[in-house]
Every structure is written in C-alpha cells, then in structure tokens.
Amino acid sequence: MKKQILFLCTHNSCRSQMAEALANHYLGNNFHAFSAGTEATELNPLAIRVLAELGIDTSHHYSKTMDEFAGQTFDHVVTLCGDANEKCPLFFGGVERVHHGFEDPSRLKGSEETVLPEFRRVRDEIKNWIIGYFGGTK
C-alpha cells in the first residue's frame, strides 16, 4: 500500500503543486502525493510550464484548500512555507509532519524570461529534496 503525502503552502498554486507532481512522478511506486493551500487560487502557468519540461502533465490539477482533506489521514504532512507551517491544523494527523521552506518564485517581478530560471531552480530544489528525503528514483 502506498504511503500518503500532503504538501501544503499558502495558495496551492506553485510550490505545493510542484511538490505533488514531482513526488507522484518520481516516487509514485511507493507514495501518493496531494497538495493544498491555506487559501485556494489558480495554478501558476510558469509552474505548469517547468513541470511540463520534465514530462509531467498537470492539466488535471487544481488549487485546493486544506479543508478539502479534513478528516483524512496522511503518513506525511509537509509544509513548504512559513504561513502553511503556522496554520497547519492539528487534524492532519500524519505519522510525520515536517517543514521544509522553499522560496516562492511566483512573487518575483519581471518578464517571463527573467523569472523562468527561478521557477526551474525552485522546481529542481523541491525535486532534489523530495527524492533525497523520501528516497527513490525514476
């Protein structure tokens, strides 16, 4: 049986969506990942783009709040930003709760050409941390 991971950040538009997609892509044999935010917004198009560069399709993803997962049990609950770490409710009774913050590339100003490398950098940092922390390769 696959272990369940829930990734949390503020808007569920960028970092947590990337973490969900990367974990399912690289660790899908052993884990099933989900993501949510303290608020729901829209998926960031540049996050979608940098995941597509790795062959990861997120067309079925949508922004969700933590409330959507109320009462569910997870093996791991991972907060990816300080806001989610502070607001993570106690009902997420994961066997393991961990915080690992990543910069939010969606807050960067500038042209797509300017910010796209930062989206790639954060994507790769999340990917490397997930693989290193949870183990696995593809």
Give the residue carrying structure tokens 């300017």: 114
DSSP 8-state code for residue 64: -
Torsion of CA 102, 122, 8, 43, to 10 degrees: 140
Integer angstrom CA distances of residue 63 from 48, 124, 131, 132? 12, 21, 24, 26
Q: Which residues contact 58 (CB under 8 A, 6 or more apart)?
A: 17, 21, 43, 47, 48, 51, 52
Tokens matching residue 21: 């997609």
Catalytic residue among 6, 9, 126, 130: 9
Catalytic residue among 14, 51, 88, 130: 88
> Is 14 one of the catalytic residues?
no
> Is 81 one of the catalytic residues?
yes
Catalytic residue among 46, 81, 84, 130: 81
Integer angstrom CA distances of residue 134 from 35, 59, 76? 16, 25, 10
Residue positions annotated with a catalytic role: 9, 81, 88
